[in-house]
Amino acid sequence: MKAYRIKAMIGYLASALAAGAATFAGMHTMVPWSQLYGKNFNGVREGLKVLALTYDDGPNDPWTMKLLEVLDKHQVQATFFMLGKHVRQRPEIARAVHEAGHAIGNHSFSHPNLIFCSQARVRQEIEDTSSAIFDATGQRPYLFRPPYGGRRPGTFKIVESMNMLPVMWRVTCFDWNAKSADQIMGHVHRQAVGGEVILLHDGGDLQMGADRSRTVEATDRILTEYKDKGFLFVSVHEMLQMRPEAELPFNARKLGD
């Protein structure tokens, strides 16, 4: 029964992919696409049994690689919003994430709050990070997540003008200062109903090596528990391809912080 449900979900995703293919073909020119659907992406229709795990502030040694093991065990693709400075420090970890088939997004170079940055600085932060990711993986990212979710009017216009799509989230796990995996699970249980982009952290913005053991443990539990309930886990890249089918009311919900 469980296997059947998961198969049905994959079938649904496949048909959504086909329906979305024409829209998605213009990946290089994200601007018209995002004008159609809104200013940023944070998930698909509420209640749809699909979730996207996202991890910010890496790559981070050793926690990013430990996370890759857990994701591999569950055969799930996630999305990593990386900091340019950490990619420059540990390009081989970024490459391993890419080679494992996960999506990589840009999370700025040095993690400033963009509310306080000039337009030129915002562009520089994004460009330096995309270059670092390209040097590590051979692919330029098209997904962007602002540090702290911070932006002011015009910030996402800059992002769009650089042919990138702003990605936010609807479930905040507060894993950066969680005392235990239980605490992280509590936040997931309270917020996740399906359709959401979920915010987690494989790294810390201040330095390499931030302890993310609780995030890794919580990831294993989230995947075990929600897959058992019939949820499908996809990368943001995959979730975007579902959107034309998923009738998302964009920005309809309050974002986390």
State the residues that interact with Zn ion by CB under 5 A: 56-57, 147
> How far apart are alpha carbons 87 and 74 in whole angstroms?
25
**Diameter over CA atoms, the chain:** 54
Q: Which is nearer to Zn ion, 70 or 114 (CB)?
A: 114
Q: Alpha helix (H) ranges present in 46-154?
A: 63-73, 84-89, 91-99, 119-137
Q: Which is nearer to Zn ion, 58 or 194 (CB)?
A: 58
For residues 157 and 119, the answer to whether their CB atoms sit within 8 Å is no
Q: Which is nearer to Zn ion, 247 or 257 (CB)?
A: 257
CB of 107 to Zn ion, least distance (A): 6
CB of 201 to Zn ion, least distance (A): 7
Angle between helices 213-228 and 181-191 (to 10 degrees): 40
Q: Which residues is 81 bridged to in the sheet?
A: 56, 105
Q: Which residues are marked as active site?
A: 56, 201
CB of 95 to Zn ion, least distance (A): 21
CB of 179 to Zn ion, least distance (A): 20
> How far apart are alpha carbons 80 and 152 in whole angstroms?
23
For residues 106 and 131, the answer to whether their CB atoms sit within 8 Å is no
Q: Is the dihedral of CA 93, 181, 252, 25 positive or negative?
A: positive
Q: Quick check: helix, strand or coil at residue 145?
A: coil
Q: Which is nearer to Zn ion, 147 or 244 (CB)?
A: 147
Q: Of all helices (H) and strands (E), which one includes residue 165?
A: strand 165-166
Q: Which is nearer to Zn ion, 63 or 226 (CB)?
A: 63
CB of 176 to Zn ion, least distance (A): 8
> How far apart are alpha carbons 222 and 191 in whole angstroms?
13
Read off the DSSP letter of residue 253.
S
Q: Which is nearer to Zn ion, 46 or 61 (CB)?
A: 61
CB of 198 to Zn ion, least distance (A): 14
Task: Find the residue with minimal CB distance to Zn ion.
Answer: 56
> How far apart are alpha carbons 77 and 247 in whole angstroms?
23
